[in-house]
Amino acid sequence: MAGDVKSINNIIGRNIADVRKSRNLSQLTLAKSLARKKTQAWVSEVESGNKNLSASDLFEIVTILNTSISEIYGSVPARHGSSPKSLSSILKDLEAHLPHEAPIYLQRDIGRSDATAVDFIYGSPSSTGSIFDHSHPLAPAEVLGAMVVERYYTAPHMEPTDLVTFNGAIAPRPHSDERIADRILVKLAKPYEGLDVHPCLIRSSGDAETTLTGHDTVVFRSNEFEIIGVLTLRRTLYLPSTRRAWLQRNFGIVKDERVIDQRAEDKY
């Protein structure tokens, strides 16, 4: 088994080296481009097949090299068991190991029928490959999604370039205590501050409230919105810094640290 891992690492390392050289990048340049800075020696160990790559490091290297996982794994040999498997059993095995895939939308685009996902986020698979058992009525439905936040929100506390994942199949839990109330994503009947979709807190009254930084708290009555989903995950830094730079360059979404610092100063 150890020999098999070493052989696979050799192939992956060699493929990374080939793609890197074709992009005219040095090992040092690749090392410095990673979010968690590495050394030239670390890249050399990877390309020599002497280091096991984590999934996050591999995805980041693939992104920086502008290539694909299939190209890096392209020549890794498939192993076959002693007895043949049916196609259905192979598909079941694949489904059990595939991660959840949720499309990522910009806040300005979410809820539109013609919206195009700007990226995808992947989560760990469950035993069935779904958060639901296959017999569950919601199993075939698209209930997971993700959104890049574009505004500063004090309630709920979110910042531009935050990535929030939401689930459209979870019933939100309202509560008068802000610490307990669920964070929800709502689509408004009328836009507020130019956006149709906002993250909010759901209250025990069934109303939703949100506070854009620099504005007073606004309350939306239950007949003024529909719930798109309950927020299940919030990443305060949207993937590596290279991805945040991509958001700024292509969509003008900027995380202004000065605004965060000023708000922190106002608390004291």
Determine the structural domain holding residue 172 and report its residue range: 143-266
Question: What is the reported pLDDT for 135?
Answer: 56
Q: Determine, yes or no, domain membership for 205.
A: yes
Q: Determine, yes or no, domain membership for 135.
A: no
Strand, coil or helix: what is 67? coil
Over residues 249-263, the pLDDT tens digits come to: 888 888 765 554 444
Of 26-35, 82-91, 253-262, least confident by mean pLDDT is 253-262
162 and 67 in one domain? no
The tally of CA atoms less than 13 A away on the side-chain side of residue 224 is 15
CA-based diameter of the chain, in Å? Answer: 69
Spell 229-246 as b/e; 16+ CB within 10 A means b. bbbbebeeebbbeebbeb
Q: Determine, yes or no, domain membership for 6.
A: yes
Q: How many CB atoms are located within 10 Å of the residue 182 CB?
A: 18
Asked whether residue 128 carries a pLDDT value surpassing 80, the answer given is no
53 and 168 in one domain? no
d(CA 175, CA 179): 9
d(CA 29, CA 253): 26
- pTM exceeds cut of 0.85: no
Q: Which of 45-59, 88-102, 153-167, 187-201 has the highest mean pLDDT?
A: 187-201
Two tokens at 43?
């890249």
Two tokens at 63?
């992104």
Residues 221-245 have a mean pLDDT of 81
Q: How many CB atoms are located within 10 Å of the residue 163 CB?
A: 21
- Domain boundary among the residues 73, 99, 132 is at 73
Question: What is the reported pLDDT for 63?
Answer: 87
Kindly report the CATH number assigned to the domain that includes residue 60.
Answer: 1.10.260.40
158 and 53 in one domain? no
Name the percent of the chain lying above pLDDT 90.
30
Asked whether residue 133 carries a pLDDT value surpassing 70, the answer given is no
d(CA 265, CA 212): 18
Q: Determine, yes or no, domain membership for 98.
A: no
- Domain boundary among the residues 41, 73, 105 is at 73
The count of domains in the chain is 2
Q: Determine, yes or no, domain membership for 82.
A: no
